Amino acid sequence: MDRYEQFRSAAIDRGIPEDEVGRFAEHLRFAVWAWPGKDGEETVGHMGGLPRLPVGVEWPGGDEDPLPFIGSVDCAALPRAEGLDLPADGSLLFFLHHEEDMEEHPSPAYARVLYVPAGTEAEVAAPPPDHDSRTFSYEDTPYLIPERRITARVAAELPGWIKDRDVQHEADTVKHLFDELKHIDQLCEIVGELWPETDDPYWSPLRIGGYCRNIGGADDPHSQMTFDSVQNRAAGENLPIEERWRLQREEKPRLVREWLPLAQFPTQSEYYFGCFLIRAEDLAAQRFDQMRSYTMFTE
């Protein structure tokens, strides 16, 4: 029995109508949350340190503008999460220059996901020239960070409008669904009982899948993506601001369905937070070059 079946069975056993359970379950997601590894726990990857790159592959960004290495995961060691079609094996390596990515958005030049298939000959890369002791230009934070091993577990996640029971600024379709979920409190209780949060998610150094976090005062990545989408669609049109807001509200649920968080993580800076999004079909096809990066500023 997978986790969705487990949830449906528990909800129906409590007398909640099956069709309502199904509508709620469409918005229930399972994510992989990483934590600093402890003795006796399985290591699923590392944050920081130096990447293991395929032999002959240069550090992403090249010697002159190398991208800081965030961390890597061993896909075969990760726990499986329903709805998250990660590779069965091989490694995923994450790179991000948070300052440049924030300044030059939506340029793809300052973020990278590198997939290294299982069996690929790889070696620990040497630090890029003149970067072993370098710091970022705006802050005195190191370019290279100490390596930390990580473990992981599967967590259940719900969108903010369900968790907060607040649809004031949501699309009409979401408001209609919210009105139909007559047992929303019970359904949320079941999720919490089946998959309780035993650790504070704030301290997770890496989250794969689930929903985008909203950090500080900045718009979340899907809101930024929605704004860009509506701006492009309405180019040349003199739409009233109220109509643009309406279009953004209606567009956002579609983008949330289509674009999954491939990786969310704090950066070396206390002010920046990284988020990589990818379409579900691109993730399944291992087209990691189609990833989009949305660096958030926390203040």
Of 30-39, 97-106, 280-289, which range is least confident? Answer: 97-106
Query: 67: buried, middle or exposed (CB in 10 Å: 19+, 13-18, 0-12)?
Result: buried
Residue 286's closest CA among 96, 74, 90? 90
**Residues contacting 231, CB < 8 A, separation 6+:** none
For the stretch 78-94, pLDDT in tens is 999 999 999 999 999 99
Structure tokens at 207: 């989250």
pLDDT of residue 217: 58
For the stretch 266-283, pLDDT in tens is 988 888 899 999 999 999
Mean pLDDT, to the nearest integer, of 55-73?
Answer: 92
Residue 64 has pLDDT above 80, yes or no: no
Mean pLDDT of the chain: 91
pLDDT of residue 39: 85
CB pairs under 8 A, 24+ apart, for 168-176? 169/249, 170/249, 170/253, 171/249, 171/250, 171/252, 171/253, 172/249, 172/250, 173/250, 173/253, 174/253
CB pairs under 8 A, 24+ apart, for 196-199? 197/155, 199/33, 199/35
Residue 136 has pLDDT above 70, yes or no: no
Question: pTM, whole model, 2 decimals?
Answer: 0.93
| DSSP codes joined into one string, 50-112 | --EEETTPPPTTTTTSPPPEEEEEETTTSPP-TT----SSSEEEEEE-HHHHHHHTT-STTEE
pLDDT of residue 220: 86
pLDDT of residue 95: 97
Confidence of residue 233 (pLDDT cuts 50, 70, 90): confident
Confidence of residue 133 (pLDDT cuts 50, 70, 90): low
CATH class of 3-297: mainly beta
pLDDT of residue 45: 98
For the stretch 143-165, pLDDT in tens is 888 999 999 999 999 999 999 99
d(CA 82, CA 31): 8
For the stretch 111-123, pLDDT in tens is 999 999 999 999 9
For the stretch 181-216, pLDDT in tens is 999 999 999 999 999 987 777 789 999 999 998 776
d(CA 143, CA 191): 40
d(CA 84, CA 146): 29
CA distances from 212 to 4, 22, 87, 159, 200 (A): 20, 22, 21, 9, 16
Number of other residues whose CB lies within 10 A of the CB of residue 49: 16
Mean pLDDT, to the nearest integer, of 251-277?
Answer: 93
Residue 126 has pLDDT above 90, yes or no: yes
**Residues contacting 168, CB < 8 A, separation 6+:** none
Residue 218's closest CA among 288, 272, 158, 176? 272
For the chain, give the percent of residues with pLDDT over 90. 68
For the stretch 210-229, pLDDT in tens is 999 877 656 789 988 888 88
Residue 212's closest CA among 273, 151, 167, 152? 273
3-state secondary structure of 192: helix
Confidence of residue 71 (pLDDT cuts 50, 70, 90): very high
